[in-house]
Amino acid sequence: MKIGVPREVFPGETRVALTPESARQLQKLGYECLIESGAGQASGFSDDAYEAADVKVVPDAATLWKEADIIAKVRQPDATELGYLAKGKTLISFFNPAGNEEGMEKAKASGANVIAMEMVPRISRAQKMDALSSMANIAGYRAVIEAGNNFGRFFTGQITAAGKVPPAKVLVVGAGVAGLAAIGTSTSLGAITYAFDVRPEVAEQVESMGAEFVYLDFEEEQQDGAATGGYASVSSPEFREAQLAKFRELAPEMDIVITTALIPNREAPKLWLEDMVKAMKPGSVIVDLAAERGGNVEGTVKDEKVVTDNGVTIIGYTDFPARMGAQASTLYATNIRHMLTDLTPGKDGKIVHNMEDDVIRGATVTYEGEITFPPPPPKVQ
């Protein structure tokens, strides 16, 4: 069978779902690989590099979608791409099944099988295909780099002939995948790093990375996330008040705040309020990684950088992985390659869409003309 990878059409998208290296691995599974001309350009992979890896370069998207049996891409397909779906084809891509009714209906009507990368169950066996995590890792790292780029001072403290420089103080709110990547980057740059999460079980991880976990003066135990399968749920009003009071206390001290707090299937909680932004020093930087879902920070403008009247920069970009196209493509292409490895048990270039497999079933959102989303809960954790 043939795997085809088109050029991403979303404005500003630099990622690509196939690299010359991942193509080599897919060929070992028995597949022929095709790529649309120019698809890897923005992430540093030329047509020549693909050709050198025995990938066939095709001139346009229409030819690619027609020739390929399996199409792998990054962003959810747009209307034109949905029009290329057909029975017998498999699409593997982010698809936003919960918020993409039109796409789901079109995929169903086309008879194509669609595997949505954001639906890969977060169980140990599937970590190698977990594109949400690989992209969140990049976002967390890049958030610190963007903050540094907009911060007029060093991260690390220094004693130089020209004077003593205090280390920057960084607060990371939310210590999931992106938050932990941000914490690791911040401590490795030498900043004094603090982190807060409603899930107390992450405190140890935070501390092992050289950061300080922020505890609340709260009578009850910090919210126990275990009850919701490792994810946060909505905080009680009392807990929220205690959290906001702690942030109010920290705001004048912090040079950089990186917020990553999310609750599954909800708008991002507002945690860094206007008065906290006002209490920060001029020159401070906030990066709101929750901007896509409404933002954790009052004053975030999605996809923009704003500077407040008191000189605080608030960054609401939502394209952090695309700002590191080469790295993001390499990791995403590896996630895709692992998904295809599981879909090709015979290593004979033939896809076996095993709906009895928890991971494949969990990620499949349309199958043989039916909508198969949401999936039943996985049997194995």
- Residue 250: which of 296, 214, 282 has the closest Cα? 214
361 is catalytic: no
Whole-angstrom distance, CA of residue 203 vs CA of residue 96? 31
In whole angstroms, the minimum distance from the beta carbon of 136 to ligand NAD comes to 5
Catalytic residue among 15, 43, 50, 130: 130
Task: Name which of residues 160 to 179 contact ligand NAD (CB under 6 A).
Answer: 173-179
Determine contact, residues 36/60, Cβ cutoff 8 Å. Answer: yes
Catalytic one of 22, 93, 110, 133 = 133
Nearer to ligand NAD, 124 or 160 (CB): 124
Residue 140 within binding range of ligand NAD, rule CB under 6 A:
no
Beta strand extents in 161-214 (DSSP E only): 163-165, 169-173, 192-196, 212-213
Which residues are within 8 A (CB) of 203 and not within 5 positions of it... i.e. 6 or more apart? Answer: 197, 213, 215
| Selected range binding ligand NAD among 116-124, 303-311, 329-337, 345-353, rule: CB under 6 A | 116-124
H-helix or E-strand containing 116?
strand 113-116
Determine if 254 is a binding residue for ligand NAD (CB under 6 A). no
Q: Are 244 and 227 in contact (CB under 8 A)?
A: no
Marked catalytic residue, from 231, 248, 319, 342 = 231
Per DSSP, the three-state class of 370 is strand
Instruction: Report if residue 262 touches ligand NAD, rule: CB under 6 A.
Output: yes
For residue 133, indicate whether it is catalytic. Answer: yes
Closer residue to ligand NAD, CB minimum distance, 237 or 264: 264
Can residue 134 be called a binding residue for ligand NAD (CB under 6 A)? no
Buried b / exposed e along 30-55 (16+ C-beta atoms within 10 A): ebbbbbbbebbebbebebeebeebeb
Mark whether 332 is an active-site residue: no
Of 44, 225, 294, 375, the one binding ligand NAD by CB under 6 A: 225
Strand ranges in 150-284 using DSSP code E only, listed in sequence order: 158-160, 163-165, 169-173, 192-196, 212-213, 256-259
Choices 10-18, 64-72, 230-238, 305-313 (CB under 6 A): range interacting with ligand NAD: 230-238
Tell me if 124 contacts ligand NAD by CB under 6 A.
Answer: yes
Question: Among 336, 321, 290, 330, which residue's Cα sits nearest to residue 116?
Answer: 336
State which of residues 263, 285, 324, 351 lies at the interface with ligand NAD (CB under 6 A): 263
Of 10-18, 37-45, 124-132, 331-339: span binding ligand NAD (CB under 6 A): 124-132
Within 10 A of 3 (CB to CB), how many other CB atoms are there?
29
Contact (Cβ atoms closer than 8 angstroms) between residue 97 and residue 116: yes
Alpha-carbon torsion 326, 328, 333, 338, what sign? positive
Which residue of this chain has its Cβ atom nearest to ligand NAD in the complex?
176
Q: Nearest distance from residue 229's CB to ligand NAD, in Å?
A: 8
Among 93, 113, 133, 335, binds ligand NAD (CB under 6 A): 133
- Catalytic status, residue 25: no
Structure token digits, residue 198: 């409603």
Task: State the Cα torsion 65-70-71-76 to the nearest 10°.
Answer: 120
190 versus 200: smaller Cβ distance to ligand NAD: 200
Residue ranges in 65-84 that form contacts with ligand NAD under rule CB under 6 A: none
Q: Which of 189, 271, 314, 339 binds ligand NAD (CB under 6 A)?
A: 271
Would residue 24 show up in a list of annotated catalytic residues for this protein? no
Which residues lie near ligand NAD (CB under 6 A)?
A: 122-124, 127, 130, 133, 136, 173-179, 196-199, 225, 230-232, 235, 260-264, 269, 271
Return the active site residues: 122, 127, 130, 133, 231
